[in-house]
Chains A and B, each alone.
Chain A
Amino acid sequence: MRLTMFRLLLPAVLLVALVGVLSSCGGGDDEGGGEESAGIPSDFKAPTAAPDNAKEGGTLTILNEGDIDYMDPGAAYYQVTYMVTLATQRSLMGWPPDATQPVPDLAADQPQVTDGGKTITFTIRDGIKYSPPVDRDVTSADVKYAIERSLLPGVPNGYTAAYLGDLEGFKEAEQQVAKDKTTAPDISGIETPDDKTLVLHLTRSSSIPVIQALSLPVSAPVPEEYAKEFDAETPSTYGEHVTFTGPYMVKNDSSGELTGYTPGKEIEIVRNPNWDGDATGDFRPAYVDEINIQEGFSDPTSAAQKILDGDSQINGDFPPSKTIVQKVATGQEFSKDQLVAVPSGGNRYIALNTQKPPFDDINVRKAVIASSDREALRNTRGGELFGPVATHFIPPLIPGFEEAGGLQGPDLDFLANPNGDPKVAEKYMKAAGFKSGECEGSDCDITMVGDDAPPGLDTATQFKGQLEDLGFDVTFQPVAHDIMYTKFCSVPAQEPQVCPNVGWVKDFNDPQSILQVPFSGDSINPSNNSNWPQLDDPKINKAIDQAVTITDEQQRAETWGKIDQDITALAPAVPWVWDNDVLVRSADVAGVANLFNGEWDLSYTSVGG
């Protein structure tokens, strides 16, 4: 008990210290759009533009805890992997650091949308060449092949079906793959009338999410004549022979085999000799000559300390620990601007299984949310800098955020108090039939499966205590993160009543990518399920299905904002933070963060300043 109390109190103590320090910084306000809406004090706002005196040259070192998920752009899906792909690949649409909407990258201009949003036409820029050994110009057929190969099981892409499934001929292509797993199928809805033109025909007017999805690495061109032999292997070995179109590339040999990538150890990134940013209208300045990603730094405190003390280093996939945040925030040992925060575009919430008692009763769910101290949950991540307390699901900077209620959230009594409101909780428990205002009976013996390591473990432990205060008898099973998902929380048949360590990061800056997969009943899968509350409300499902096809931006934001409010009102989960990514850099690094993936932007960051 004492240890639990200590661990519960410690984040609060740190938070008080941090807030005390931050409040003396003349911090910004929490209202309004932009990073202020993410609760980031102005002293810790990440730069999203390179300084005027950014230096060319030098080597930038990135310290990572783990590896990227896939080097193959057709399979890449981690935010930290996007750090590499944004610098090495040119997708149809791209993300300059300060962009909140994608801009043409491989495409010469914004696409033409016709036929009521069912036809999208791209023109490919001239002069974009593949890195050695392919050494030729990119054509529209390469983008067609890139999308089609992502259906192969040997190229495990997690989002093509979700966002590009409206392409004409997509279902037929999936059937082709079921018969022949080593040859990329033909999607009839993708046409390439000439080398520079790509035309996409959709079955419905879902052009907005499709264009957004084409900002992801899946649309990075892949030369079929080069990649075919690798894609014929099971699984595809193209990831060991990737060719690049961005300002940088992973070191390779004359056959194209990536010699600079040792999985789990390091990635050596060098300049792409065939890249000409000026001639091809690339927005990336590409200051540094080399980028070295070093992996395996398992202790975030010592790794962050190494960055802060050292030269030309930045962090990759790990946030600095609370100890480091506090150290930098005081400004005594390091310059405060060596630590910045940027909205990640993600949320974290505690899923309540709406298909299992007692959480099949909306009043019980509302009571649990009402009683939750969401600020304490947020503080298990590290405090205010790590994100504002969430009041709904669309994060800041995503269209629909303000329409859903912004930081204050929708007008719902069970979410009104971020520190919890026992009276409101009691009201809802009584409405659920628990006369005492607390949970009673065998339905209150519940199971929670969560992370076995901090900070997820801290969050789960914190929430367990809050549930027990409401009368629940909680059996908490801490397991490894991957087991939590693949054996329990993402398998509806095995899912416990509570999954405390779930959340969703946007796939792109459209609210559909935040709400559709996690909350539509149509997306519930028997395994690898990401609708953790298993919410299956016909009205919500219909609203989501209809909202996908809205082509007017403002109407989209309003509609999805309303959907977010409606989902929140059904209380399927306890939203507790909109994540910020906290980044650290060495003093000589002019770091630039990208708002798209909430990481340092390697094409804009420079060293030697």
Chain B
Amino acid sequence: MLRYIVRRVLWGVALLFLVSAVIFLIFYVFPSADPAKLRAGRQANPQLIEQIRDQLGLSDPYLEQFARYMTQVFTPFDWFGAAAHGGTGPLNFGRSFQSNTPVSEIIYERLPATALLVAGAVVFWLLMGLPVGIISAVKRRSALDRTTMVTSLALISAPVFWLGLVALYLFASDVGLIHVFPGIGSYLDADSFWAKCWSLFLPWLVLAAATAAIYARYLRSSLIDVMSEDYIRTARAKGVSEGNVIMRHGVRSAITPIVTLLGLDVGLLLAGNAILTESVFNIPGVGREIVVAINRSDLPLIQGIVLFGAFFIVTFNLIVDIAYAYLDPRVRYR
């Protein structure tokens, strides 16, 4: 198992390198807007723009810029002019072209909001999706099963930003019809941890809705397959109670695809996939920040957030695979 983990970590590092290269190609080599011109402002003369381009290190050859960035992220050395362009590393992701704030500072500042949003949403979608999936599988083709599956289809189909706006206009304490939950921007006003949690209640529900629906459908399908296996029949024949048959034998096997999904979903959300929810509710998280960064061609910030995101996805995939081995004794890694 240890060898497996080490091998996966090394592959993870290689993957992060590859992701960095691709992002660099997309945003530095084929940029949308020109960050030097944006920073220079309107009516700046060409000399000023070139001076700014030089200052930002954008007039160096692409390979040198990429090598410098990798040096700053992974090493403490002053190679390729690292010290002169944002400082040495490791874990130095450069400075935002727009605000000149260190990228790592921006990400660390925004990560807690995204992490809290994702954590709460995970709890909700597991609490909602798993029981619904189990009940639907056990009471297959009943009225309850049909209702839950139709509802889940509707929730999967509804765009999350639409769901968010509807939720706000129905239940937000500031703009809603029924003043129940804190409204848009309430996260910014929250001082304590519990106040922040309360401000995220509606976003949690919105973010969890579609995922809970997906998990319910997956678990239902998986459990239906598992419950027709021979060992389930054997367990029943041995006199195991139906509850134990379902939970200890059925769900334990059926839940493995859910574990994979969970790892991917959490990784993706932490990487910035919660952007629509963050935008609708004005939660200052990583997802919203990357949209702003892309619109402003803030290249170091784009690169930094994507790298962080890739790190989370790689990490959570590894956690999922380890959890797999625990859940399914047949799975052994070498």
Q: Which of A205-213, A232-240, A338-346, A410-418 contacts B (4 or more CB under 8 A)?
A: A232-240
Say yes or no: is B184 at the interface (Cβ < 8 Å to chain A). Answer: yes
Is the Cβ of B55 less than 8 Å from the Cβ of A234?
Answer: yes
| Cα–Cα, bound, A451→B65 (Å) | 31
Which of B43, B54, B289 makes the CB contact (< 8 A) with A159?
B43
Question: A517–B47 Cα gap in the complex (Å)?
Answer: 17
Q: Which of B26-43 contact A (CB under 8 A)?
A: 32-34, 37-43
The proximity string for B residues 100-112 relative to A, scoring 1 for CB distances below 8 Å and 0 otherwise, is 1100001001100
Question: Which A residues are in CB contact (< 8 Å) with B56?
Answer: 235
Chain B nearest CB, measured from A78 CB (Å) = 9
Complex contacts, A161 vs chain B, CB 8 Å: 45, 48
Which positions 16-75 of chain B face chain A at CB distance < 8 Å? Answer: 32-34, 37-49, 51-52, 54-56
> Which residues of A (499-531) have their CB < 8 Å from a CB of B?
517, 523, 525-530
Stretch at the interface among A300-308, A314-322, A394-402, A424-432: A300-308
Is B188 located at the chain interface by the 8 A CB criterion?
Answer: yes
* A120 to B165 alpha-carbon distance, docked (Å): 56
Query: Would you call A158 and B43 a contact (CB within 8 A)?
Result: yes
Are A296 and B175 in contact, CB atoms less than 8 angstroms apart? Answer: no
In the assembly, what is the distance between CA of A266 and CA of B109, in Å? 12
Interface centre among B47, B185, B280 (most CB of A within 10 A): B185
Say yes or no: B38 contacts A482, CB within 8 Å. Answer: yes
1/0 per position for A158-175, CB-CB distance to B under 8 A? 110110000000000010
Across the interface, which residues of A come within 8 angstroms of B295, CB to CB? 480-482
B284 touching A527 by the CB < 8 A rule? no
With a cutoff of 8 Å between Cβ atoms, the chain B residues found around residue A154 in the complex are 55
How many A-B contacts if CB must be within 8 Å? 153
The yes or no answer to B222 lying at the interface (CB within 8 A) is no
Q: Is the CB of A302 within 8 A of B175?
A: yes
CA distance A237 to B168 in the complex (A): 39
Bound CA span A296–B165, Å: 15
Contacts of B169 in A (CB 8 A): 302
Complex interface: stretch among A16-24, A122-130, A360-368, A483-491: A483-491
- Decide if B296 is an interface residue (CB 8 Å cutoff): yes
Chain A residues with CB under 8 Å of B40's CB are: 156, 158, 528
Known: A156-B48, A237-B100, A263-B106. A523 touches B43 (CB 8 A): yes
Q: Which residue of A lies closest to B39 (CB)?
A: A156
Known: A298-B279, A482-B295. Contact between A158 and B37, CB under 8 A? Answer: no
B273 within 8 A of A: no
- CB pair A483–B51 under 8 Å, yes or no, is no
Cβ of B282 under 8 Å from chain A: yes
Point out which of B34, B43, B99, B296 has the most chain A C-beta atoms below 10 A from its C-beta.
B43
Enumerate B202-241 residues with CB–CB distance to A below 8 Å: none
Task: Tell yes or no: B148 within 8 A of A by CB.
Answer: no
Distance (Å) between the CB of B108 and the closest chain A CB? 12
Q: How far is the CB of B142 from chain A (nearest CB, A)?
A: 40
Q: How far apart are B232's CB and chain A's nearest CB, in angstroms?
A: 50
Contact B168 A527, beta carbon cutoff 8 Å: no
Do A266 and B37 contact each other (CB < 8 Å), given the known contacts A162-B43, A523-B43?
no
The residue of chain B having its C-beta at the shortest distance from the C-beta of A523 within the complex is B43
Contact between chains at B43 and A306 (CB < 8 Å): no
Say yes or no: A265-B41 contact (C-beta < 8 A), given A306-B184, A310-B174. Answer: no
* Docked complex Cα distance between A56 and B48 (Å): 45
Q: Does chain B have a CB within 8 A of A66? A: yes
Known: A66-B292, A306-B175. A490 touches B37 (CB 8 A): yes
Chain B residues positioned under 8 Å from A153 (CB to CB):
48, 51-52, 54-55
Question: In the complex, what's the smallest C-beta–C-beta distance from A484 to chain B, in angstroms?
Answer: 9
Chain A residue at smallest Cβ distance from B35: A486
- In the complex the two chains form, is B282's CB within 8 Å of A297's CB? yes
Residue of A156, A177, A302, A490 near B165 (CB, 8 A) is: A302
B256 at the interface (CB under 8 A from A): no
Task: Say how far A121's CB is from chain B's closest CB, in angstroms.
Answer: 29
Given contacts A237-B100, A298-B279, contact A527 B42 (CB under 8 A): no
Q: Which of A66, A67, A298, A517 contacts B43 (CB 8 A)?
A: A517
With A263-B96, A264-B284, A302-B165 as given contacts, are A77 and B289 in contact (CB-CB < 8 Å)? no
Q: Are A77 and B280 in touch, CB under 8 angstroms?
A: no
A265 touches B188 (CB 8 A): yes
Q: How far is the CB of A118 from chain B (nearest CB, A)?
A: 24
Whether A178 is near chain B, meaning CB under 8 Å from some CB there, is: yes
Q: Which residues of B contact A181 (CB under 8 A)?
A: 51, 55
Q: Which residues of chain B from 268 to 289 have a CB within 8 Å of any chain A CB?
A: 279-280, 282, 284, 288-289
Residues of B close to A263: CB separation below 8 A: 96, 98-99, 101, 106
B288 x A296 contact (CB < 8 A): yes
Given A296-B282, A303-B184, A487-B33: A530 and B165 interface contact (C-beta under 8 Å): no
**When A482-B296, A482-B297, A486-B37 are in contact, do A265 and B45 touch as well, CB less than 8 Å?**
no
Instruction: List the 4 closest pairs (A to B, CB-CB), nearest first.
Output: A158-B41, A153-B51, A263-B99, A482-B33
Pull 28 A–B residue pairs with CB atoms less than 8 Å apart, ordered by A. A77-B41, A153-B55, A156-B40, A158-B41, A236-B100, A263-B96, A263-B99, A264-B99, A264-B292, A265-B109, A265-B110, A266-B188, A296-B185, A297-B282, A299-B279, A302-B175, A303-B185, A305-B174, A306-B183, A310-B174, A482-B296, A486-B38, A486-B297, A523-B43, A525-B45, A527-B49, A528-B40, A528-B43
Residues of B near any A CB (own CB < 8 A): 32-34, 37-49, 51-52, 54-56, 84, 96, 98-101, 106, 109-110, 165, 168-169, 174-175, 183-185, 188, 279-280, 282, 284, 288-289, 292, 295-297
